Amino acid sequence: MISPFCSYRCLLLYFLPGNDYTGKHGPPQAFFALLALLAVLRRFFAQRGADGQATETLEEVASAAVAQRRFQAAVLLLFAGVALALALVGVYGVISYAVAQRTPEIGLRLALGAHRQNILGLTLARALRPILAGLVIGLAGALAASRLSTSLLFEVKPSDPATFAFVTVLLAVVALGACLIPARRATRVDPMAALRYE
């Protein structure tokens, strides 16, 4: 950025006696120089206060104060999303494998007259038992480790019941969604093909 003092010195050159800028074209050139100086001063003081110090709004100061915490929270949220996606893929893989291993049993049940809704309920019940056990163990571990995160929390208690309930319900819904696809696949098993399944 051009310094306003440099422009001020250039403006003084227009009015010094004996320079080449005075004469019949002097006053218009001086007028344009004055306009240029005013534009430079306007830009200079728009970025700085009347005392020459840089000025910021309260929102800018508050945003700069929490920028590092906001970045840490965003990175933590990203890793939490990746962990949730890995858990979803893991649950889906385990339940799919269990359904594939039990294909002959499911085919036999269907051949003996079991309804497809019963097969769906049986597959979901067997899948949800380890998921519920994992949720209980995870809640106990989170409550035990919550004291370590006290310094990172703002206006939230380490053992906030609403947060724990929300996370538990979210994980249960995600795990149930991961179980539904293999369970519905189990209801579409052809009994004759399942009995020949090796």
Domain ranges of the chain: 4-55, 67-195
DSSP-derived secondary structure letter, 66: T
Q: What is the gyration radius of the CA atoms in the chain, in angstroms? A: 36
**Greatest Cα-to-Cα distance within the chain, rounded to the nearest angstrom:** 116
User: Which residues touch 33 (CB under 8 Å, ≥6 apart)?
Assistant: 7, 10, 11, 14
Closest to 87 (Cα-Cα) out of 151, 35, 130, 50? 130
pLDDT tens-digit map of 81-90: 898 888 888 8
- Residues of the chain short of pLDDT 50, as ranges, are 1-5, 7-8, 11, 17, 21-23, 25
Alpha-carbon span 7 to 78, nearest angstrom: 51
pLDDT number for residue 4:
46
Query: b vs e for 147-178, b when ≥16 Cβ sit within 10 Å of the residue's Cβ?
Result: eeeeeeeeeeebeeeeeeeebeeebeebbeeb
The pLDDT, as a whole number, for residue 55 is 66
pTM of the model: 0.55
